[in-house]
């Protein structure tokens, strides 16, 4: 019997995703023995500092990627919005699954929608992307940093005197907490992060057999969308410390990409939408990155990096 080991973070959502991939692998390959190995990452260990200040997205994948390179695990299951743009030279994303709801969700204490929250309402979020767009839409809001897994953040809504919190809808849906969602915030107000709602499986480039195991699990539409979104962020050289939104949709053979760069205070926002053939997804992302830079996004990025 063939055996593979999946490396995963230990949070409830990460384990849900790892078990989901385990079940999918067994559906496609009934003779496959699949184990899950929990690997604690730096991002899980450091919970009291905003991500942008301690190294960004890579903190949630570094130790798992080390496990892949040491051959301690065969696959790593990731939320694609947590994945850095640059991969270690010997690793690759071999498969992305069909995307769950890609948008952000508002969870408020008394089920009050965003437009109806009182002036100065206290909202918790750990994302600079969400903060900047919320301040652009409603400058009166009082935004406070929020870290921790989904369960921890939901508890903080009650314990820290918050009026509401913002979380990715996908995680809430996957963990069966859809009933906690007050409102899905439309992308016109809160443009998602690149890869939000998508799960990717990382493996070693030279393990052809493992890549073959994953081939028929890949969702083509999601893959094209992520190619465009990640190309945009790559062109902007953006990470956790710059508020960037990047979201693509497909219709027939066309892909439409929307991107934005915003200042931390929400006072300035550069936003663009472009459409091309889906086979040009990467070129479309790069083109949009260049156009946002020409609009003035580079000034925002330089200002943030110099502080």
Average pLDDT over residues 197-208: 95
Q: What's the CA gap between 164 and 157, in Å, rounded?
A: 6
SS3 assignment, position 176? coil
CATH superfamily of 104-185: Periplasmic binding protein-like II (3.40.190.10)
pLDDT in tens, 45-60: 555 555 555 455 566 6
Options 3.30.460.80, 3.80.30.20, 3.30.450.20, 3.30.160.40; CATH for 232-306 is 3.30.160.40
What kind and span of H or E run contains 91?
strand 91-96
Q: What's the CA gap between 234 and 158, in Å, rounded?
A: 38
Average pLDDT over residues 145-163: 88
Confidence (pLDDT) at 47: 54
pLDDT in tens, 63-83: 899 999 999 999 999 999 988
Q: Cα 207 vs. chain centroid, distance in angstroms?
A: 26
Assess contact for 103 and 186: CB atoms under 8 A: yes
**pTM attached to this predicted model:** 0.90
Q: Does 82 qualify as catalytic in the annotation?
A: yes
Do the domains 2-96+198-218 and 104-185 sit in the same CATH topology, yes or no? yes
Taking alpha carbons only, the member of 41, 35, 36, 80 closest to residue 63 is: 41
* CA 22 to each of CA 32, 185, 215, 240, 272: distance values in angstroms, whole numbers, following the listed order: 10, 31, 15, 29, 38
Catalytic residue, chosen from 82, 104, 163, 207, is 82
pLDDT in tens, 95-133: 999 999 999 999 999 999 999 999 999 999 989 999 999
Q: What's the CA gap between 28 and 30, in Å, rounded?
A: 6
pLDDT higher than 80, residue 198 = yes
Lowest mean pLDDT among 22-26, 141-145, 153-157: 153-157
Confidence (pLDDT) at 148: 81
Taking alpha carbons only, the member of 191, 192, 200, 166 closest to residue 87 is: 200
SS3 assignment, position 92? strand
The CA-based dihedral angle spanning residues 220, 225, 227, 232, taken in that order and rounded to the nearest 10 degrees: 180
Q: Is CATH 3.40.50.1860 the right assignment for the domain spanning 2-96+198-218?
A: no
The residue ranges of every structural domain in the chain are 2-96+198-218, 104-185, 232-306
């Amino acid at each position: 019997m063939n055996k593979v080991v999946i490396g995963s973070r230990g949070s409830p959502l990460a384990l849900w995703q790892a078990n989901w991939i385990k079940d999918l692998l067994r559906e496609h390959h009934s003779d496959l023995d699949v184990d899950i190995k929990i690997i604690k990452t730096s991002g899980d260990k450091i919970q009291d500092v905003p991500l942008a200040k301690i190294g960004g997205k890579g903190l949630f994948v570094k130790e798992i990627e080390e496990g892949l390179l040491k051959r301690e695990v065969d696959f790593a299951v990731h939320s694609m919005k947590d994945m850095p743009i640059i991969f270690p030279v010997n690793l690759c994303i071999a498969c992305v699954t069909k995307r769950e709801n890609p948008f952000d969700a508002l969870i408020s204490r008394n089920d009050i929608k965003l437009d109806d929250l009182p002036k100065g309402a206290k909202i918790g979020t750990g994302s600079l992307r969400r903060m900047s767009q919320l301040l652009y839409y409603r400058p009166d809001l009082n935004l406070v940093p929020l870290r921790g897994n989904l369960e921890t953040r939901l508890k903080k809504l009650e314990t820290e005197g918050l009026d509401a919190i913002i979380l990715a809808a996908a995680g809430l849906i996957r963990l069966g907490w859809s009933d906690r969602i007050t409102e899905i915030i439309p992308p016109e107000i809160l443009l998602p992060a690149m890869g939000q709602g998508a799960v990717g499986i990382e493996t070693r480039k030279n393990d052809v057999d493992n890549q073959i195991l994953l081939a028929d699990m890949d969702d083509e539409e999601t893959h094209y969308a992520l190619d465009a979104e990640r190309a945009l962020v790559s062109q902007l050289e953006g990470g956790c410390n710059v508020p960037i939104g990047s979201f693509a949709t497909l219709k027939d053979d066309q892909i439409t990409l929307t991107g934005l760069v915003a200042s931390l205070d929400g006072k300035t926002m550069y936003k663009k939408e472009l459409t091309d053939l889906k086979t040009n997804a990467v070129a479309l992302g790069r083109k949009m990155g260049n156009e946002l830079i020409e609009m003035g996004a580079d000034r925002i990025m330089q200002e943030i990096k110099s502080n």
